[in-house]
Amino acid sequence: MTVSVSPGSLEDRKAVIDAFARRHRFKWYEAIPWVAAIASYFAFDSYHALGAQMFATILFALSLDLLIGFAGIVTLGHAAFFGVGAYAAGIMAANGWQEPLSQLLVAAVAASGVGFASGLIVLRTAGLTLLMQTLVVAALLQELANKWSSVTGGSDGLLGMKIDPIFGVFRFDLYGDTAYVYCLVVLFIGWLIARNIVYSSFGRSLTGIRENPNRMHAIGAPVDGRKIAIYTISAALAGVAGAMIAQTTALVGLNTLALSKSGELIIMLVIGGVGQLYGAFIGVPLYMIAQDRFSQIDPIFWYFWIGLFMIFVVVFARGGVLGVCGRLLERRSSR
């Protein structure tokens, strides 16, 4: 055969390298979630409390996307870190430390510590074994929180947490106005961190690990170390999300560590689209709004409708909302 040796002209070279090297630049559509969030503040005046919870949950889902979508680490126990963060903030508040930002910091450190320690053990495995082990870590923590009731409040949880005003100025109000802005700002910072990681060399190597771990070994990558690193970072973000929920609802319960919490989160991420950084921004609002609507229409049977919706997504809309949008755009541009 004749080898089609490309002339490799200098212009071609520059164009290809430029295209490749500029992938991390911000695109206009990345502003959409933020514009929508700010507009929603004014448009849905009575939904600020729900909005705040939504932002915290988006951060939680975003941290899961770093694991499942980018590093290919499938976990059923991500609520472990969410719960540790929530309890860290809750226990601090219950013991007289009510400053919110330092609570976030402690929550992040505590959750990342648990992430690192459990990651050392569970990340040696993959597939079904990994799934079971992550599930077990969350279950162990939940049982610990249940038994250690002198600190955690046991099955009653921690009620009536008091949180200081942010910077000593912005008081958490009953309508969730402060919480809305607070959670949005923290989510924005979390998103910047996640986005930065995804586009970094480290993040690209995670994609390599997801695509083919053996090949990563063969090019000399410390695969296990990288997985533990992203697991720790993701746990920290999940912990911050948990702390925010605790602070804005003034409540921490055993459900923050529950399997259903982890499962629900995966559902939200799958609806939005896995591994695309914005799946969380679509899936979480869709799920939470659907949950809100369905439970009003059909208070007893609403989970059935969520389930039906989920089956629809998996069968007809692979890749979630973002996957469908991507395919539609491709079809249009290939015409």
Partner 1 sequence: MSALALETRSLCKNFGALLVANDIHFQLERGARHALIGPNGAGKTSFVNLVTGVLTPSSGAICLGGDEITGLTRAQRVKRGLVRTFQISALFRKLTVLENVTLAIAEREGTANDLLRPAGHHRALIEEAYDLLVPLGLASEALRPVTELAYGRQRMIEIAMALALKPKVLLLDEPAAGVPPRETGAIIETIERLPPDIAVLFIEHDMELVFRVAQRITVLVQGAVLVEGSPAQIAEDPKVRQVYLGESRH
Residue ranges that bind partner 1, judged by CB under 8 A: 1, 3-6, 8, 12-13, 16-17, 19-24, 196-197, 199-205, 207-208, 211-212, 214-223, 226, 229
Go through the chain and tell me how many residues it has. Answer: 335
Which three-class secondary structure state does DSSP give residue 158? Answer: strand
CB of 317 to partner 1, least distance (A): 20
Q: Which is nearer to partner 1, 225 or 299 (CB)?
A: 225
CB of 8 to partner 1, least distance (A): 4
Burial of 141 (0-12, 13-18, 19+ CB in 10 A): buried
Helix 302-316, helix 279-297: angle, nearest 10: 140
Smallest gap from Cβ 122 to partner 1, in A, equals 20
Name which of 147 and 215 has its Cβ closer to partner 1.
215
Cβ atoms 139, 259 nearer than 8 A:
yes
Identify which of residues 169 and 219 has a Cβ nearer to partner 1 in the complex: 219
Q: Give the whole-angstrom CA distance, residue 48 versus residue 202.
A: 36
The answer to whether the CB of 152 falls within 8 A of the CB of 239 is no
Residue type, 76: L
Q: Which amino acid, residue 146?
A: N
Q: Is 41 helix (H, G, I), strand (E, B) or coil?
A: helix
Nearer residue to partner 1 within complex by CB, 19 or 43: 19
**Nearest approach, Cβ of residue 333 and partner 1 (Å):** 15
Look-up: residue for tokens 């929508």? 36
Q: d(Cα 39, Cα 95) in Å, to the nearest integer?
A: 37
Residue placing its CB nearer to partner 1 in the complex, 171 or 204: 204
Q: Nearest distance from residue 240's CB to partner 1, in Å?
A: 18
Considering the complex, what minimum distance in angstroms separates the CB of residue 205 from partner 1?
4
Query: In 167-203, which positions are buried (b, 16+ CB within 10 angstroms) versus exposed (e)?
Result: eeeeebeeebbbbbbbbbebbeebbebbbebbeeeeb
Residue 50, number of CB atoms within 10 A of its CB: 15
Quote the tokens at residue 314: 């998996």
Tell me how far, at minimum, the Cβ of 322 lies from partner 1, in Å.
Answer: 16
Dihedral of the alpha carbons of 73, 74, 76, 79, in degrees to the nearest 10: 40
Closer of 147 and 217 to partner 1 (Cβ): 217
Residue closer to partner 1 (CB basis): 96 or 220: 220
Name the one residue in this structure whose structure tokens are 């459900």.
255
Count of beta carbons in the 10 Å neighbourhood of residue 291: 16
Shortest CB 50 distance to partner 1, Å:
33
Query: Among residues 17 and 289, whose Cβ is nearest to partner 1?
Result: 17
